[in-house]
Amino acid sequence: MAQIRFRFAPEKLVQALAYFAERGVRDLDKMKAAKLLFHADKYHLLTYGRPVVGDMYTCMEYGPVPSASLNVMNDVIAHDPEYPPVAKELFDEYVTVERFWRKTSRLPS
């Protein structure tokens, strides 16, 4: 049986994230974005025969995770200069990324 492959499109990732934000998705963080991307891709694939983002999903403890999308989101959040210039320009143009760092408390040993 032939394996069907789709090409990941960072442009579609940014458009999907902008769509979620525009539609008023509250508290849109990486985990919620990953879940919404999975459901959007699944629905679109079953309905139209092709996914929205074209990412490859990995099975993780809390459900499927879009591998390339998560890498791009992690690079954007980390201010990594290594993430793709196309994604950086698109994120800068269409999406505002807010970074919230949680303090971790250490117990005395």
Q: Long-range pairs for 7-12 at CB < 8 Å and ≥24 separation?
A: 7/54, 8/53, 8/54, 8/55, 8/56, 8/68, 8/69, 9/53, 9/54, 10/68, 10/72, 10/84, 10/86, 10/87, 10/90, 11/86, 11/90, 12/52, 12/53, 12/54
pTM higher than 0.75 = yes
Q: Does pLDDT of 105 surpass 60?
A: no
Domain boundaries along the sequence of the chain: 22-94
pLDDT in tens, 58-101: 998 889 999 999 988 888 877 766 655 667 778 888 887 777 66
